[in-house]
Amino acid sequence: MKLMFGADLVPTEITNPLFVAQDFKTLFNDVAEYTRKADRLIVNLECALTKSENAIKKCGPNLKADPLCADALKAFGVTDVMLSNNHVFDFGLEGLRDTEANLRRVGLPYTGVGENDTDSRKIYYFTEGGKKFAIVNVCEHEYSYALPDRPGCNPYDPYLTMHDIREAKKNAEIVIVIYHGGKEYCRYPSPRLRLLCHEMAECGADVVLTQHSHCIGCYEEYEGTHILYGQGNFNFVTPSSNEGWYTSLLVELDIDEKIDIKFYPMVMLESGVDIAKGEKAKEIMDAFAERNEELKNGKWIDGWRAFCNAPSMVYYKNCLKSLFQENSSERQNEVFAHYLDCEAHTDVWRELFPTWNWTNEK
């Protein structure tokens, strides 16, 4: 029995018409040959399916697609949709309600959202091949997350999320965590992210897939749990200055007496995606294997630190320079608050500004 996982899926200005037309040959090329062999195809829909023009105020783009894209997902073979991410609420409550309604209209079950931060934590159960599965779909604190009195996505909590994983393990044979977080474009986990994924494993998760980074990261097996730090995009075709955007992994779980995991390298094309082949596939997987080895030998931390200290990350320090000055704009102050709110951004803060503790003797 096989489960297939695609990461971030967004019909863009380039591909939205192709989704509406259900032109799967252009959109997915040979990827369909792999996904149709799976018993279930599970994806992260990282946008609202709405015609609303009421975009929320935020840093970064507001993502939406035509409601008919729900029909395309169903027709392509998607069986389950993850919604806990930082873009599904980009068009507010109207956009979220439209998204839910369109998924229900075509008969696509979804998880990761709720009427408040308690309701959003509902564990997603399904049975396949005689086995009961549980999915805990959770995201970091970036715009979309639910509050005690507001609908939204399931917000990661270092205590409650672990409780939910333990609860899932009581009721299901196999527990999968899909965690939308980690620093965008970084191929290595932060120390915090690695520790929390290890804790998820110790609480009962059999598989942990982290998404949101828009690039392929690295993988390890920790105490029998498969952990992937960064899957890349599934179908999110738009120009990017970051080379990691153009490659990704399709993840297959082959489940019998045990769980075997397999990764298929993918590449982004002009109007879709495809399975990488030949030298390109070897290049992607060799680099992936090298980073996996760095998790074992400790060199991954150098990769994380180099990323945080790269010249391109100067905007974190620049944010402080203009903070709450007489000439500071409202947006500059809001950006700082956003950096404090989101775990991935605070991971970088902690690296750039390590704890100031000189009292302990060495």
pLDDT of residue 338: 87
- The predicted model gives 211-228 an average pLDDT of 98
pLDDT at position 32, please? Answer: 96
| pLDDT at residue 359 greater than cutoff 90 | no
Give 284's pLDDT tier (boundaries 50, 70, 90): very high
- 353 pLDDT band, cuts 50/70/90, is confident
A 10 A CB-CB count for 23 gives 15
Q: Say what angle helices 69-76 and 92-105 make with each other, to 10 degrees.
A: 40
Average pLDDT over residues 254-264: 96
pLDDT given at position 27: 98
| pLDDT-derived band at 335, boundaries 50, 70, 90 | confident
Instruction: State how far the Cα of 73 lies from the Cα of 75, in Å rounded to an integer.
Output: 5
pLDDT reported for residue 254: 97
pLDDT > 70 in the chain, percent: 100
- Angle ∠(71,76,78) on CA atoms, nearest 5: 85
Q: What is the pLDDT of residue 241?
A: 93
Tell me: the pLDDT tens digits for 130-174? 999 999 999 999 999 999 999 999 999 999 999 999 999 999 999
Give the per-residue pLDDT at 334.
84
Mean pLDDT of 281-287: 98
